[in-house]
Amino acid sequence: MAHLEVLIPRERIAQRVAELGAEISRDFAGHAVLLVGVLKGAAIFLCDLARTIDPALDVRMDFIGVSSYGTAKTSSGEVQLTKDLSEPLAGVHVILVEDILDTGVTLHFLKQLLLARQPASLKLAALLQKPDRRKVAIQADYVGFTFPDEFAVGYGLDHAERYRNLPDICIVRE
């Protein structure tokens, strides 16, 4: 039987997300900002983050879908767009919101794709990052937590589509 070990409890997630929201509120004061969530893993993070940003800011939300992992724990190295944005990006301040920065392949692919649409600016936010696994040189502007080289589930992150609904970030012990 698989057993779940809590690595980052919900209270710490909420506190860190609020800090990121405050940082974004300062950085984008007086501007409109579009949060672009990467489906499906970043959906929960994006919704919580959006609600910690100063309500005086004009905050919009959109989602983009990619697939790269299938049901395995290691990246196929190939990223496919499965769902595009619903609005154009030209002249818009965009924050691309991802669940986890691992090899960097997914964020690198999305960054190039979105930059080609000529946003006013593009920042990257990742709830988690695994520092030692990068295959592509890429850094996030807003990072929640640095995570050990273990497979994370919960708070949006899945293993074979399971565990996204867990309120804490956990690792699966077999």
Closer by beta carbon to Mg ion, 93 or else 159? 159
* Concatenated DSSP letters of the chain: --EEEEEE-HHHHHHHHHHHHHHHHHHTTTSEEEEEEEETTTHHHHHHHHTTS-TTSEEEEEEEEEE--TTSSS--S--EEEE--SS--TT-EEEEEEEEESSSHHHHHHHHHHHTT--SEEEEEEEEE-GGG-SS----SEEEEE--SS-EEBTTB-BTTBSTT-SSEEEEE-
Closer by beta carbon to ligand IMP, 17 or else 152? 152
Q: Could you say whether residue 98 binds ligand IMP (CB under 6 A)?
A: yes
For the question of residue 48 being annotated catalytic, the response is no
What x-and-dash track marks residues 38-67 binding Mg ion by CB under 5 A? ---x--------------------------
Residue nearest to Mg ion (CB): 41
> Which of 102, 149, 158, 168 does the annotation list as catalytic?
102
Question: Candidates 12-20, 28-36, 50-58, 104-112 — which segment interacts with ligand IMP by CB under 6 A?
Answer: 104-112
Closer by beta carbon to ligand IMP, 70 or else 88? 70
Among 157, 166, 169, 170, contact with ligand IMP (rule: CB under 6 A): 157
What x-and-dash track marks residues 16-55 binding ligand IMP by CB under 6 A? -------------------------x--------------
Of 97-116, binders to Mg ion (CB under 5 A) are 99
Active site residues: 102
